[in-house]
A = this chain, B = another copy of it.
Amino acid sequence: MAKRSDSHGRLDDAARAGWLYYVAGRTQDEIAAAMGISRQSAQRLVSLAVAERLIKVRLDHPIAACLELGEGLRAKYGLRQVEVVPSDPAAGSTTVGLAEAGAAEIERWLKRSDPIVLAVGTGRTLKAAVDQLSPMECPQHRIVSLTGNIGPDGSAAYYNVIFSMADAIKSRHFPMPLPVLCSSAEERDTLHDQALVRSTLALGAQADVTFVGIGELGPEGPLCIDGFLAKDEMMTLVEGGAAGEICGWMFDHDGKLLSGSINDRVASVPIPSSDASCVIGLAQGRRKLKAIAAALKGRLINGLITDEATAEQLLRG
């Protein structure tokens, strides 16, 4: 008998057990009884079928591709948190936009009962996400802005998101009463030395989780559009190897922060270390591709929320 079982191959039995378990939905006890073996042996056959890749599981849902892409990105860049949303709303019922996905992730953090420090950057994408937040009561948390809220002309910077966030989330908020960009490194240092600013800077440094937008450079990038940088300054930066920016901090194609250049004048809190905390970027679109890839490569962020098409391109590159 043993001889015959062997010649038929253990894999055949594994296939049979796997079929009974996964397709027919029997329990391992039933399989054991049907095959005349012990429950443990049935369990071994089932796990053998899985280990030998006899069992193929497929998910019939548009979101499946997104999850695959997310897993790919997680593996490729060592990310802690990935969310890929479907690109084409018409493709299925899952028209979760980037903004909604970002809001969901923010809410996931805010729902925690233990107090956390949540830091936010700036940008249109992030603003859209924050606008999707549902009202919540979160007295235990603190929310801090990484970027100044004064625009280049002295008015409020529209895409500073912390005030939008304050509308929805009842929590302690800490804006940065600074411009985004100072006129000089000295001015930046002076401003940062104010007591109020120093405490906010310290708070930002200890953020448990940070949500940031990722800005592309070039004359159509947000820094130019919003008037923070003139086009010729921008072109100089790009020619100098800049690939993108987060909270105004410029980085090259390897995700290394540029030394000198305008980074000396950026008033933003330094981007929290992605070794110690979660730094989640929200970005999507072909134009941002190089910036996102660089930020991932340099581990400036360890979490990403993007869309399907962008995820594909990131994995391809």
- A18 in contact (CB, < 8 A): yes
**Given contacts A8-B94, A63-B12, A57 and B57 within 8 Å (CB-CB):** yes
- A58 in contact (CB, < 8 A): yes
Complex contacts, A11 vs chain B, CB 8 Å: 61, 93
Complex contacts, A36 vs chain B, CB 8 Å: 107-108, 111
Q: Is there an interface contact between B54 and A56, defined as CB atoms closer than 8 Å?
A: no
Candidates B3, B63, B108; contact of A15 at CB < 8 Å = B63
- A64 in contact (CB, < 8 A): yes
Instruction: Give the shortest distance, in Å, between A205 (CB) and chain B (any CB).
Output: 26
Q: Is there an interface contact between B94 and A19, defined as CB atoms closer than 8 Å?
A: no
Q: Is there an interface contact between B9 and A93, defined as CB atoms closer than 8 Å?
A: yes
A67-106: contact bitstring with B at CB < 8 Å (1 yes, 0 no)? 1000100000000000000000000011010001001100
Candidates B2, B4, B134; contact of A132 at CB < 8 Å = B4
**Given contacts A71-B24, A100-B4, A93 and B12 within 8 Å (CB-CB):** yes
Q: Is there an interface contact between B16 and A63, defined as CB atoms closer than 8 Å?
A: yes
CB contact list, A117-160 vs B, under 8 A: 132, 134, 136
- Closest-by-CB residue of B relative to A2 is B134
Q: Is there an interface contact between A67 and B23, defined as CB atoms closer than 8 Å?
A: yes
Q: Is there an interface contact between B59 and A4, defined as CB atoms closer than 8 Å?
A: no
Q: Is there an interface contact between A59 and B15, defined as CB atoms closer than 8 Å?
A: yes
CB contact list, A149-200 vs B, under 8 A: none
**Given contacts A12-B93, A23-B67, A93-B9, A104 and B59 within 8 Å (CB-CB):** no
**Given contacts A1-B134, A9-B93, A134-B4, A59 and B18 within 8 Å (CB-CB):** yes
Please list 30 pairs of residues, one from A and one from B, whose beta carbons are closer than 8 Å in the complex, sorted by A's number.
A1-B107, A1-B134, A1-B136, A4-B100, A4-B103, A4-B132, A8-B96, A9-B93, A9-B94, A12-B63, A15-B63, A15-B64, A16-B67, A18-B59, A19-B59, A19-B63, A19-B67, A22-B57, A24-B71, A36-B107, A36-B108, A53-B60, A54-B60, A55-B57, A55-B59, A55-B60, A56-B59, A56-B60, A57-B57, A58-B58
